Amino acid sequence: MCARDILIRGTVQGVGFRPYIYRLAREHSLSGWVANQKDGVHVRVEGSHEALEAFTSALIPDAPPAAHISALEVKHAEPSGFREFFIRESERTGRPTVRISPDLPVCDECLAELFDETNPRYLYPYINCTNCGPRFSVIESLPYDRCRTTMRHWSMDELCDSQYHNPLDRRFHAQPVACPNCGPHYLLEDGDGVCYGDRESIDRTVQILRAGAIVAVKGIGGYHLSCDAANAATVQAMRERKFRKQKPFAVMVRDVEVARRLVELSPAALDLLTSTARPIVLAPGRVQLAGVAPENSELGIMLPYAPLHHLLFAFGAPEVLVMTSANRSSEPIAFRDDEARRTLTGLADAFLVGERPIARRVDDSVARAGVFGPAILRRSRGYAPDAVGAFPTKRPILAVGADLKNTITLVVDGQAFTSQHIGDLDHYEALASFRQTLKDLLDMYAIDPTKLTVAHDIHPQYASTLTALALPAQAHVSVQHHRAHVASVLAERGEWERRVIGVSFDGTGYGEDGTIWGGEFFAGSLRDGFTRVGHLRPAYLPGGDAAAAFPVQCAAGFLTDLPGLPDLMEAPFQFPGRYRSATELVCKRVRTFSTTSVGRLFDTAAALLGFTGEITFEGQAAIWLEQLAGDTKCDLPLFDFTLSDNVLDFRPMLVQMARDRYAGAEVRDISRRFHRSLAYATARLVKSLSEDHGTDIVALSGGVFQNELLLAELRGMLEQTRLTAWTNAAVPTNDGGISLGQAALAVANVA
Ligand code: ZN
Ligand code: FE
């Protein structure tokens, strides 16, 4: 008789882990127990040496699909003589550091039951089991038990209760377990009144969707606004009511077959689409759906993930549904029923309301199968709140991120948890959501705020900075935006010592000299910090960050005093009057700032090639410019993007671009050459810096690196010079990754 004590860490709560251990132990005729404790799942097993070996070696390979084991510790122990194997109740002491599982899509077994007439949960929109269903979006506090989830309002009937308590059942300790007899239901509210009953309300929803209605549909982490994507008039109405001019809408498609008709699905994109996170996947479009993604060659698609979505399609909903966050303009997604009714009246024709409350808003995630593998552009449902990195510190650290695309990172016991996407904090609702998420994270992990090290941006007027400074923390650490971008790449890879060259290209960030940065080169490491060793040549920026809305306004700054430019007010450029007035601002140095932003350089290039109007969503001109290049051949000559004293000078390139266009060159070729020239100049500077600083690793981060064409060019050129490029994978390369980088630089306090 031998015994082992085993500790399993990782995402092991709420994913069917204890019943799995129970079944595995019984299979191997072992006695002992399994329990959730504050640091993970503890197992005591007793039996023959062979059986213990077999049990231990099967533990990881056979684990439930939603479990993520980060560490397994096995110790020999003295047998206590247990006669059977049992599941011990959760311990309630100490700080919970076990991880909370992200929400999971409905599993195949539940899906089969959903459409099995003989099953008690036939057509029941809240079907789930330990392998699937909501987690993060229903958990109110830890440890994860039904009484601390939004399912506490419903008591289980005999069927659910017996399954919940049967270790051999798929629903053993499935906290959100429910059936039509005891659980919550859906109902439909429209102008005619309320339609009760799951089937009746879903059936009616499908009818009105087919007739062209816009329906607010309650899902897992919030409400969607849904309509028939093939109905151009309805899609247009949605744009008008939402005040959303051109920003693409995401669509939900019935199945993979429909997805293939809509977009080109590479094997990597298919993997992302069907992954347990079920993100919105951006892929090249094959057909145009009028008004869904205007003038955009990519389409964002996702598969059904909640049982409700499968029911909508099974009841005959249009096979492609617009499914966009229910909100006005860029406010946060509505997730409470009263809030949805209040803010969406006049926007939605009807409300398909589910009775189960949502504990916190969790938007759909957005991802793309990119040059460097899967790239997460918005990290939310299905990913949050998984840990994104292991930190070499026991101190609790809170990092509040940037004011755009905000996320918050909390480091607890050496694990970095990055929050779901919160949004742009200039909206009152988003700021409220930011404060709520901050409190939520600290409560969830039972952190005393006075013990925290709090990291924030150096921007003195950021709402996130002001909130951070008001916290009664032990220490505050101020982190420059672009250093945080570079740090995020290293933090998620656990590279705490490695010296790298960091390249941070983005739209805007507060520089340590008070100017607007966004084209920065650094040398250093997470341990020693980063020194700025190169940058884009500073340009004027009339109107400051407000210029980001008008590419011609950026152009006025970047093109100041350039000899040899054709007249941009004339054909083929035809810049509007705004260009002239912005030029006057620059001449008089009125409201004129200095910037090294590569994002604004992209805007200038876009203006020169024909994007002379207003931008209606962030990054629009840069996306337009990238798509303009399409798949043109890359044997075109480079522009002169010159380099002196580690400063990249864009001026000769911009003059050549303007002259080429004036001379009648194809704009798509000019766009391609622009991308290639920027990549080449960047690679050249990185190469020389890497020699100066003795490293062959380059970390790329910042919103500009969402540009796949630039990444592809740059990657190729860096590889030719034997440099290895790293970029973000766990967190977004845009400002959604800033909080992780801030936290990383707070560890050694080298910001
Ligand atoms: Zn299931
Ligand atoms: Fe940024």
Which tens digit of pLDDT belongs to each residue from 461-496? 999 999 999 999 999 999 999 999 999 999 999 999
Q: How far apart are CA 727 and CA 717, in angstroms?
A: 15
Which tens digit of pLDDT belongs to each residue from 152-183? 999 999 999 999 999 889 998 899 999 999 99
Q: How far apart are CA 394 and CA 391, in angstroms?
A: 8
Paired tokens of 546: 């407000």
Which tens digit of pLDDT belongs to each residue from 572-591? 999 999 999 999 999 999 99
Q: Is the per-residue pLDDT at 97 higher than 70? A: no
Q: Specify the fold of 536-726.
A: Nucleotidyltransferase; domain 5 (3.30.420)
Q: Where in the chain is the domain with CATH 3.90.870.40?
A: 186-354
- The Å distance, Cα 486 to ligand 2 centre, comes to 10
CA-to-CA separations, 649 to 552, 632, 674, 715, in angstroms, rounded: 20, 25, 13, 21
- The Å distance, Cα 404 to ligand 2 centre, comes to 8
Q: Is the per-residue pLDDT at 92 higher than 70? A: no
Tell me what pLDDT residue 96 has. 53
Contact call for residues 646 and 521 (beta carbons, < 8 A)? yes
Sign of the dihedral defined by the CA atoms of residues 226, 328, 336, 97, in that order = positive
Helix H or strand E segment including 164? helix 158-164
Backbone angles phi, psi at 374, to 5 degrees: -60, 130
Query: Which band of pLDDT confidence, cut at 50, 70 and 90, is reported for residue 751?
Result: low
Contact call for residues 409 and 736 (beta carbons, < 8 A)? no
Q: How far apart are CA 684 and CA 115, in angstroms?
A: 59
- The Å distance, Cα 28 to ligand 2 centre, comes to 53
- The Å distance, Cα 129 to ligand 1 centre, comes to 4
**Strands, E, within 285-423: which ranges?**
298-302, 320-325, 350-354, 366-370, 373-378, 387-390, 397-399, 409-412, 415-418
State the residue for tokens 């100490």.
94
* Helix ranges, 630-729 (H): 651-662, 667-693, 708-720
Q: Is the per-residue pLDDT at 676 higher than 70? A: yes
Instruction: Report the pLDDT averaged over residues 224-243.
Output: 96
Pairing label, strands 280-284, 366-370: parallel
Among 139-143, 319-323, 538-542, the range scoring the smallest mean pLDDT is 139-143
- The Å distance, Cα 564 to ligand 1 centre, comes to 67
- The Å distance, Cα 90 to ligand 2 centre, comes to 42
Instruction: Report the pLDDT averaged over residues 222-231.
Output: 98
Pairing label, strands 642-644, 647-649: antiparallel
More confident residue, 312 or 86: 312
**Number of helical H runs and strand E runs in the chain:** 21, 31
Q: Where in the chain is the domain with CATH 3.30.420.40?
A: 536-726
What are the residues facing 478 on neighbouring strands?
A: 456
Which tens digit of pLDDT belongs to each residue from 409-448? 999 989 999 999 999 999 888 999 999 999 999 998 889 9
Instruction: Report the pLDDT averaged over residues 704-717.
Output: 96
Pick the CATH number of 2-87 from 3.30.70.100, 3.40.50.2000, 3.40.50.10490, 1.10.1040.10: 3.30.70.100
Tell me what pLDDT residue 98 has. 61
Tell me what pLDDT residue 40 has. 84
- The Å distance, Cα 106 to ligand 1 centre, comes to 5
Contact call for residues 598 and 519 (beta carbons, < 8 A)? yes
- The Å distance, Cα 421 to ligand 1 centre, comes to 26
More confident residue, 307 or 130: 307
- The Å distance, Cα 305 to ligand 1 centre, comes to 11
Checking 438-445 for CB contacts under 8 A at 24+ apart, the result is 438/398, 438/400, 438/408, 438/467, 440/360, 441/398, 441/408, 441/410, 441/417, 442/398, 442/410, 443/141, 444/96, 444/100, 444/141, 444/142, 445/95, 445/96, 445/97, 445/142, 445/396, 445/410, 445/412, 445/417
Of the candidates 389, 408, 411, the one whose C-alpha atom is nearest the C-alpha of residue 747 is 411
Paired tokens of 12: 């092991």
Ligand nearest to the CA of 598: 2
* Helix ranges, 356-480 (H): 428-444, 463-470
Q: How far apart are CA 690 and CA 684, in angstroms?
A: 10
Tell me the pLDDT of the chain averaged across its residues.
Answer: 94
Which tens digit of pLDDT belongs to each residue from 595-653? 999 999 999 999 999 999 999 999 999 999 999 998 877 788 999 999 999 999 999 99
Query: In sequence order, which residues have a C-beta less than 8 Å from that of residue 360 and are 6 or more positions away?
Result: 136, 137, 221, 335, 420, 436, 437, 440
User: What is the percentage of the chain residues whose pLDDT exceeds 90?
Assistant: 86
- The Å distance, Cα 111 to ligand 1 centre, comes to 7
Tell me what pLDDT residue 722 has. 92
- The Å distance, Cα 504 to ligand 2 centre, comes to 8
Q: Is the per-residue pLDDT at 66 higher than 80? A: no
**578 by DSSP, 3-state: which?**
helix
- The Å distance, Cα 209 to ligand 2 centre, comes to 39
Contact call for residues 628 and 670 (beta carbons, < 8 A)? no
Contact call for residues 711 and 727 (beta carbons, < 8 A)? yes
SS (H, E, C) 230-295: CCHHHHHHHHHHHCCCCCCCCEEECCHHHHHHHECCCHHHHHHHHCCCCCEEEEEECCCCCCCCCC
Q: Where in the chain is the domain with CATH 3.30.70.100?
A: 2-87
Backbone angles phi, psi at 107, to 5 degrees: -85, 170
**CATH code assigned to 186-354:** 3.90.870.40
Query: In sequence order, which residues have a C-beta less than 8 Å from that of residue 640 and are 6 or more positions away?
Result: 652, 653, 656, 677
Q: How large is the C-alpha radius of gyration of the chain?
A: 27
Query: In sequence order, which residues have a C-beta less than 8 Å from that of residue 179 and are 6 or more positions away?
Result: 120, 121, 124, 157, 159, 160
Tell me what pLDDT residue 37 has. 80
Tell me what pLDDT residue 191 has. 85
Of the candidates 204, 200, 155, the one whose C-alpha atom is nearest the C-alpha of residue 179 is 155
Q: How far apart are CA 205 and CA 320, in angstroms?
A: 15
Instruction: Report the pLDDT averaged over residues 697-721.
Output: 96
Q: How far apart are CA 687 and CA 571, in angstroms?
A: 40
Tell me what pLDDT residue 91 has. 59
Q: Is the per-residue pLDDT at 205 higher than 80? A: yes
Tell me what pLDDT residue 626 has. 97
Which tens digit of pLDDT belongs to each residue from 330-389? 788 899 999 999 999 899 999 999 999 999 999 999 999 999 999 999 999 999 999 999
Of the candidates 491, 496, 501, the one whose C-alpha atom is nearest the C-alpha of residue 523 is 501
Tell me what pLDDT residue 729 has. 97
Of the candidates 740, 693, 648, the one whose C-alpha atom is nearest the C-alpha of residue 501 is 693
Tell me what pLDDT residue 11 has. 80
Residue 263 has, within 13 A of its CA and on its CB side, a CA count of: 31
Instruction: Report the pLDDT averaged over residues 702-729.
Output: 96
- The Å distance, Cα 208 to ligand 1 centre, comes to 29
Ligand nearest to the CA of 105: 1
Burial 30-56 (b: 16+ CB within 10 A, else e): bbbbbbbbbbbbbbbbbbeeebbebbb
Tell me what pLDDT residue 546 has. 87
Query: Which band of pLDDT confidence, cut at 50, 70 and 90, is reported for residue 327?
Result: confident
Ligand nearest to the CA of 108: 1
CA-to-CA separations, 383 to 205, 249, 270, 419, 699, in angstroms, rounded: 29, 21, 17, 9, 23
Pairing label, strands 186-190, 453-457: unpaired
What count of other Cβ atoms lies within 10 Å of the Cβ of residue 432? 12
Which tens digit of pLDDT belongs to each residue from 376-419? 999 999 999 999 999 999 999 999 999 999 999 999 989 999 99
